[in-house]
């Protein structure tokens, strides 16, 4: 059971947009920045978003992040088949004194 809650799966057609939610509480998302990761099984996960909405160099602006209260959202626009992957949110939890993650969301581009 993951500390942060994500939908198990989302899907959309190529060229469309999708959002992935990440829900927590005041000990984690409510009091700390959120980061998002893209993971293709068998490869190294990739940092997509940090500090709630910032993108590392090389990450296209089709990827966006936002946070409100104890929830965060990852947005993807102009979907491509290459975006099919598992997406995870992560943050620090002040009560658990540990980093915590969501259970992951599998994105399917139909």
Partner 1 sequence: QVQLQESGPGLVEPSQTLSLTCNVSGGSISSGGYYWSWIRQYPGKGLEWIGYIYYIGTTNYNPSLKSRVTMSVDTSKNQFSLKLTSVTAADTAVYFCARELHSSGYWEVDFWGQGKLVTVSS
Residue numbers 34-93 binding partner 1 by CB under 8 A:
35, 37, 42-47, 50-51, 56, 86, 88, 90-92
Q: Which is nearer to partner 1, 15 or 106 (CB)?
A: 106
Q: Is 100 in the site for partner 1 (CB under 8 A)?
A: yes
Q: How many residues does the chain have?
A: 110
Residue for token pair 């160099």: 57
Q: Total number of residues binding partner 1 (CB under 8 A)?
A: 29
Strand partners, 11: 108
Q: Which is nearer to partner 1, 7 or 45 (CB)?
A: 45
**Which DSSP string do the residues of 21-73 spell out, in sequence order?**
EEE--TTTGGGS--EEEEE-TTS--EEEEBTTTB--TT--TTEEEEEETTEEE
Q: Is 13 in the site for partner 1 (CB under 8 A)?
A: no
CB atoms near residue 47 (< 10 Å): 13
Contact residues for partner 1 (CB under 8 A)? 1-2, 31-33, 35, 37, 42-47, 50-51, 56, 86, 88, 90-92, 96-101, 103-104
């Amino acid at each position: 059971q993951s500390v942060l809650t994500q939908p198990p799966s989302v899907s959309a057609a190529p060229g469309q947009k999708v959002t992935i939610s990440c829900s927590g509480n005041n000990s984690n998302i409510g009091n700390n920045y959120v980061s998002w990761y893209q993971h293709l099984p068998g490869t190294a996960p990739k940092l997509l978003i940090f500090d709630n909405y910032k993108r590392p160099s090389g990450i296209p602006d089709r990827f966006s992040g936002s946070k409100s209260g104890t929830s965060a959202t990852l947005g993807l626009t102009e979907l491509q088949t290459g975006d099919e992957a598992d997406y995870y949110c992560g943050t620090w939890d002040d009560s658990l004194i540990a980093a915590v993650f969501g259970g992951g969301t599998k994105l399917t581009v139909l």
